[in-house]
Amino acid sequence: MLATQLMALATQDASADIALWIHSPGGSVPSMLAIRDIIRLIPCDVSTLVLGIAYSAGQFLLSSGARGKRRALPHSRVLMHQGSAGIGGTAVDIELQAGDLRHTRDTVLGLISEDTGQPVERIFEDSLHDRWYTAQEALDYGFIDAIVQNFDEIAPQNRPRPGFSVTEGVGQ
C-alpha cells in the first residue's frame, strides 16, 4: 500500500518532495525492499523522519530516504539487526531456504552499507544482534543526516493525499 501511495504522489507532482514519517516496530523484508525500490524509481526526493522508533524494516526505510533529507526527532530510537525467518521441510528444502535467506541478508546489508556509507563488513558485525541507536548515534552512523531542532524543519507542505480530494461546497 505504501509503495502505491508513493507512486500516486509522484504522479501528482514529480518535482515535490514526499515526506515519509516513520514510527515502526519493523515489518516484512519483501515489502521494505519493494518500498525502497519505489523510493529510488520515482522522480521525487523522499524525505524520511523517525517519530519515536524506527526498528528493523523501519530503520531500513529511514536510511533509504534522500541524502540530506533523513531526520529524527531528538529522542527517537533506531534498531538494526539481521532479518529472521522460520525454516522447515526436508533437508533439501531447508538448505534451499537457508541459501535464499543468506542472499536476502547480503542484499539488505549491502543496501544499508550504500545508504549509510559504512563498510558492509561493519554492517554485518553490527547487525549480528539487536543494536540500538539514539538519534545522535544514528546521525553518527549515517542512518540520518540531521536531528530535528524546530518545527519549521518538518512542517508539512501543502500537498493533497493520494485517494482523497476535497470538493468546495460539498454538503452545503
Question: Nearest 5°: phi and psi at 51?
Answer: -105, 75
For 105, the 3-state DSSP assignment is helix
**Residue found under cell 529510488:** 40
Q: Determine which one of 56, 63, 76, 127 is catalytic.
A: 56
Q: Determine which one of 23, 31, 81, 113 is catalytic.
A: 81
Question: Nearest 5°: phi and psi at 165?
Answer: -145, 155
Active site residue 129: no
Report yes or no: 23 and 53 within 8 Å, Cβ to Cβ: yes
Task: For the beta carbon of residue 32, count every other beta carbon within 10 angstroms.
Answer: 24
Please give the single-letter amino acid code of residue 106.
Answer: D
Quote the distance between the C-alpha of residue 165 and its chain's center: 27
- The beta strands (E) that lie in 6-114 are given as 18-24, 46-55, 70-72, 77-80
Active site residue 75: no
Largest Cα span, the chain = 68
Residues annotated catalytic, as ranges: 56, 81
